Structure 1
Amino acid sequence: MSASASQSELRLVVLGPVHAGSKPAVCSILGLQDNQLGTDEEKGSKHRGEAAGRQMVVFSSPGWFSSTFNPKKRKEHISSLISLSSPGPHAFLLCVPVDQPADGEAKALDVLKKLFGPSAVSGNTIVLFTHIEELEEDEQLEEYLTTWRKDLLELVERCGGRYHTLETRGGGPEEKKAVEELLEKVEQAVKESGTQHFSCNLFREAEERLRQRQQEMVMQRRKEQGDEEPPTNSPEATEEEMEAVREEAERSICDFDLDVDSIFPSTTVSTSSPAPSFLRGLWEKLIGWIRWLPSLVGRESLLGSLVGLFVGGQYGGMVGATVGSVATEMGRRKTEKTK
């Protein structure tokens, strides 16, 4: 990659599993259809395109920050993320569903901080809210966050107050405008950071290894073509030659010495606590009950207690408390609307 190309393109890393809305987010940014991104949900993918007059590189990374993710696969995904987004992304976009608990996404920010340093979160991460269709028709995202989702607001605060959504009710021009506004927020974050893009020791190491690997590949190609020794008065490899082997070189160095055990000290789920997928399913059912059964509105505390007892353990307490507060806020909003 030439220096000019690296500076002109905008590199984004979209974090989150498919159910969190990461795939539609990538499609919205690049103006693609779902079938153009492939069907493998477990692998990260890199896509080039154009948005709002800017050359874009968007890397989609699955939910490797989950404690249930295979440790070996996790290391491969993180290494791939570093290599494919080198010399460093302009922003990390953390996909956060508005209709689910935020504990998993909070852990994702913890992981980013441990991997790349505090500035990766506070200076270069934007919360990208998804599943906005779950909001009431006349309800704005900001209103929803401030009235009953303090947990999501905490995520936003950790990310320097930056959040956005690409999901619109109007479609067409509104979707295009949403993408433009996102890129403006990315560029503003980069400007405030005082750097050309995010960087840290891992990304600097990645770029150095990439340059070395590119040189090796160019020399090998010359040798195969019968030009074993380049002229003494010419550079070892031109920028054009280096660019031609860039993507192949990126795929060949995806093996970084990462101490994932220190970042993920425990990769097992307690037998006394339900799996995250179960908790998400329970959450969705409870939210459905709260929304559609007004008779539950007057039993907020009881509902939270029952959930805590049913789930059990540390997770039960957290989920029960969250459900109780959600029910209370829902009841207050319904009461206000009927006045």
Structure 2
Amino acid sequence: MSASASQSELRLVVLGRTGAGRRSAVSTILGLQDSQQGTETEDLQECSKHRGKAAGRKVAVVSGPAWFGSGCEPVERRRHVSSMVALSSPGPHAFLLCVPVNQPADEEAQALDVLQELFGPSAVSSSTFILFTHTEELEEDEQLDDYLTTWRKDLGELVKRCGDRYHTLEARGGGEEEEEKGEEPVMKAVEGLLEKVEHALAESGTQHFSCPLYQEAEERVRERQEEMVRERRRMEPPEESPPPPAEENVTEEEMEAVREEAEKSIGDLNVDVESILPAPAIVPPPPSSFLWGLWERLTGWLRWLPTLVRREALLGALVGLFVGGPVGGTLGATVGSVATEVSRRKTTEKTK
């Protein structure tokens, strides 16, 4: 691939836990059908690279398994990281971390820690976007900004760590006005994402993200690419054929195909996977962790409730959680019911 072609292509690396919507994000950005990604499951087993056009731009999207999770073995993690880096070499223009709005943010916080340890602080602070998914779980009239501010401070912290860069590709509602104008909400969402990526690049003053690990990968990819071209030139022609010219012209398409093969052939890079994600110690969880787990389940359940009931139910749950015991449960239920009834009557009076 020529230097100009490489610069015009926008490279995106899609990350996320299993079930976070990585596969859907890749399909949405490139306008692919699910079958075109070559997998039938969300839990991708190998890193893959897809090319296409989006909003008038050449785009390459790299995605793969959730290698940053503690469930991934060190050997597999090294292989996945090496493959991801080689496929997105000489460096991505953005990392996109898929974050479901209906789940706690502990795994995503760990993913940002791993990215920072592996590629350096700027990988998170300057080159990572939070890509919110499963926004259909929000109330129909609830805006994502309000939801993050009011209910999900943990998700807000992820956004802050990434320089307040976030986006969603999921169109909620759309509206008759947009349909009449012929504006496709999903296409507009993709275009908005690419504009944000280009704006972030302009602010950073860099062509793409780079670090020692990516520099090592690009050097090895180029070396392998040159080796493959020389091997093709050394192939002996049949005796009856004339010898090949001293300098064989290689088209841009051929060079691109050779580079793709070179990227896929890169083995383990110099990645110290043991240090970036040590095995978690097996210790009994402290009482505070138990209470936090209850709180996460509680708030997760409350997000399924209508907005009108949510605050009153939360008040009752708080009373029950911190008073404790049968008395706390009874008192919490009573407080929640009374608060809900008061809100209902206020709403009824306003509508009269």
Normalising by structure 2, report the TM-score: 0.78
CA spacing shift, 1:64–1:176, aligned 2, 3 Å: same
User: How far apart in 1 are the matches of 2:2 and 2:293?
Assistant: 45
Match of 1:299?
Answer: 316
Deviations along 1:142-190, one digit per CA (max 9) or x if unpaired, are 0101111111111111111100000012467111100000000000111
Match of 1:16?
Answer: 16
User: How far apart in 2 are the matches of 1:63 and 1:190?
Assistant: 26
Match of 1:317?
Answer: none
Match of 2:332?
Answer: none
CA spacing shift, 1:182–1:8, aligned 2, 3 Å: same
> Residue type of the partner of 2:24?
P
What's the % identity of the aligned pairs? 58
Pairwise CA distance, 1:303: 5.6
> Residue type of the partner of 1:39?
E
Match of 2:209?
Answer: 198
Query: Given the alignment, which residue of 157, 170, 177 partners 2:188?
Result: 177
User: How far apart in 1 are the matches of 2:267 and 2:343?
Assistant: 55
- Map 1:182-261 to 2 at 5 A: 182-226=193-237, 231=246, 234=247, 241-261=254-274
- Map 1:126-205 to 2 at 5 A: 126-170=129-173, 173-205=184-216
Long gaps (5+) in structure 1: 310-327
Pairwise CA distance, 1:272: 3.5
Pairwise CA distance, 1:83: 0.3
CA spacing shift, 1:303–1:210, aligned 2, 3 Å: farther
Pairwise CA distance, 1:247: 1.0
User: How far apart in 1 are the matches of 2:222 and 2:281?
Assistant: 41
Match of 1:270?
Answer: 282
CA spacing shift, 1:306–1:60, aligned 2, 3 Å: farther
Q: Which protein has the larger Cα radius of gyration, Structure 1 or Structure 2? A: 2
CA spacing shift, 1:27–1:285, aligned 2, 3 Å: farther
SS where residue 121 of structure 1 aligns? helix
Kindly indicate whether residue 288 of structure 2 is the aligned counterpart of residue 287 of structure 1: no
User: How far apart in 2 are the matches of 1:17 and 1:306?
Assistant: 35
CA spacing shift, 1:131–1:290, aligned 2, 3 Å: closer
User: How far apart in 1 are the matches of 2:115 and 2:305?
Assistant: 37
Match of 1:67?
Answer: 70
Q: Tell me which moved more, 47-56 or 238-247.
A: 238-247
Ranges of 4+ aligned residues in structure 1 off by more than 4 Å? 227-230, 234-241, 279-286, 293-296, 302-307, 334-339
Match of 1:116?
Answer: 119
Q: Over aligned residues, Cα RMSD in angstroms?
A: 3.3
> Residue type of the partner of 1:260?
V
SS where residue 96 of structure 2 aligns? strand
